Chains A and B, each alone.
Chain A
Amino acid sequence: MVEFLISSLPALMFFCMVLGLFTGYPVAFVLGAVGIFFGLIGIWVGEFHMIQFMNVMPRIYRQTVENPVFVAIPLFIFMGAVLQHSKVADGLLLSLERVLSRTRGGLAIAVILVGTVLAAMTGMIGASVVVISLIALPLMMQRAYNPSLASGAVAAAGTLGILIPPSIMLVVMGDMLQTSVAALFAGAILPGLLLAICYILYIVILGWSKPEVAPVAPPRAVAEDGSRTSALREFLGAMLPPMALIFVVLGSIYGGWATPTEAAGVGCLGALVLAAAKRQLSFRQLKEMLYGACSTVGMVYFVIFGATLFSYVFRVLGGDEMVIGMLEAMGLDTGMHILIALMVGVFFLGFFFDWLEICLIALPIFGPILATAEFGLVDGAQPVLVWAAVLVAINMQTSFITPPFGFALFYMRGVAPASISTVSIYKGVIPFVAIQIVVVVVAVLFPDLILFLPRYWGLLF
């Protein structure tokens, strides 16, 4: 009996964690408490020692405090908060709509473009989907867009940001997999852009075949500011500063001049200058930016505390061996099989959990297995890790918008106008999910889609 209990402890631990998380109590506390309780059970059955709790603090300290790579996280979060509170997105959306005023579905395309360019604003999926829904959905309903198309475009644009650099998720992933954050940033660019282009193509084709779902902008929106040339000038004014900021941040990383942390610091300075130039940097606004960013920082780091404790106890209790044993029992022994198992697992986790929990729990277990596995398509531990990480990232984004459980849809439902029914949200995202799946398959079959840029910029090897 006790032996059975010992061998199934990691599975039981995982099960209790999922159960605990579903109570809706904060994730950080549930992870930590489950870690503590199973440590205590482990002591009782002789699989864990009281003294091993001593190892927890140094681990938390090295993960969150003495971690120069992680300094990029508060900085990127602050940069995102500055961009968000200085209303860069609102201005960009409206001026893009005017430029695209003669294109069917112009506003929907504008939403995708804003989501791509301002990916830096994205922190946690829940929060970013809420922000972009609040900005874009009411406007699209007012312009008589089909509710399905509107919600599909907003869900896709709001989740794309976790993939497109500078993304906080990629910083966490790089640290968890012990691979270069700069290489991950480079690897995510082409798939991210490909997704954005496919979304836009879909909207254009839909607008062309079914004109009633994607209206052109009403003449008023154009006439307000006169001719299209002035619209173009205004658009460039709204678009160029944030574009230049993102370009400087990413360019300095890819050019090898700065680490992601340093680039994030410069990015914050740039975002503050941008906000000041837009006259959106009053003392009150600066406080809002600081408090908003710090609150997210505190939340993220406290989840990492709990996850560090959980992962440590899980590992001591034999969690790694259990996962490898399970994979072997299912006959999954080649790298490809394991990768597919990871992707399927992450896809289901993405129905309920934000990227933070998924990265912190699944990646430390699968990382070492993937790094030593054999792949026909990709060679070497670092390229495999970068490839797998970006695949997992795209996969997670797909899962967030997949009905009926998609995590992002749940948050969107919460803030969407009542005129948008849940069914129309589900209908609207399905084409976007299909695009995602095609891109995932392409990236699996042609790893160069992900690995070309990191290799080209010399960030691998």
Chain B
Amino acid sequence: MQRLAGLLRTGSGLIVTVLRYFAHSLSWTMLVLVVVVCTDIITRKLGLHVPYLDSTRFQELAWHLQAVIFCAWIGYAYTQNAHIRVDVFVATLSPRKRSLIEVFGCLLLALPYLLIVMPYAYEFVRVSYNQGEASSSPTGLPYRWIVKSVLYVGFWGVFLANIAVLMRSLADLCDPKPATRGEAHG
């Protein structure tokens, strides 16, 4: 049992490391977003024209970056227990019962949700790519499939995060004294 738990924890830790790498490095996009929004205002108010980047493109770039930020974090946030919960009634439950809730939640709620939505997310990207979809504005950005695939990749992040949390919670059930206490409910 303990070896199984150890194995599960290693696997879960591996996924979390990968997700953390992407989340942490892509969080710097926030600073880029600040720069993009500020540059847009300054150039527009001063009447400057940046070649290839007029205001429409800046504004479209801004929400492209917004997508990068949240897609990098929706999965990783789950492994760090940052997703909001209504824990009024379960806060006092034992760690074992909370792990059980997590296992059932992953299997019965999260995975069915993701397994049904993700193929549609893929289809969404494919259609956009095949159509060569671009901005509806003539001066907007081309290649809408890029930002749409960011959304699809974000769902993969959530899927992996679910596997990681599922493995971690199963490990906690098999071997109730976690070796890495800090990571169990970080």
Contact = CB atoms under 8 A, between A and B. Distances in A.
B124 A58 contact: yes
Interface stretch (B5-13, B110-118, B171-179): B110-118
A366 interface: no
A294 B84 CA distance: 14
B37 A298 contact: no
A32 B74 CA distance: 14
Contact of A356 (B45, B82, B84): B84
Interface in B28-64: 28, 30-31, 33-34, 36-38, 40-41, 45, 59, 62-63
Contact of A54 (B38, B76, B83, B120): B120
B116 A24 contact: no
Contact of A36 (B27, B101, B112): B112
B66 interface: yes
A218 B185 CA distance: 41
Contacts of B153: none
A22 B89 contact: yes
A405 B38 CA distance: 43
Contacts of B124: 57-58, 61
B27 A290 contact: yes
Given A56-B117, A68-B62, A295-B80, A352 B86 contact: yes
Given A22-B86, A266-B41, A290-B28, A65 B66 contact: yes
The contact size tier of chain A is 35 or more
Determine the main DSSP class of A at the interface with B: helix
B120 A56 contact: yes
Given A23-B101, A25-B101, A265-B34, A68 B70 contact: no
Contacts of A354: 84
Contacts of B89: 22, 24
B150 to A, nearest CB: 8
B184 interface: no
A282 interface: no
Interface string A240-277: 00000000000000000110011011101100100000
B73 A297 contact: yes
A66 B30 contact: no
Given A61-B148, A67-B63, A291-B27, A32 B113 contact: yes
Interface in A219-252: none
B27 A294 contact: yes
Interface of B: 23-24, 27-28, 30-31, 33-34, 36-38, 40-41, 45, 59, 62-63, 66-67, 69-70, 72-78, 80, 82-91, 93, 98, 101-102, 105, 108-110, 112-113, 116-117, 120-121, 123-124, 147-148, 150-151, 158
15 contacts: A22-B90, A24-B85, A26-B84, A56-B120, A65-B67, A71-B33, A265-B33, A295-B77, A297-B73, A298-B70, A298-B82, A300-B70, A306-B113, A354-B84, A414-B91
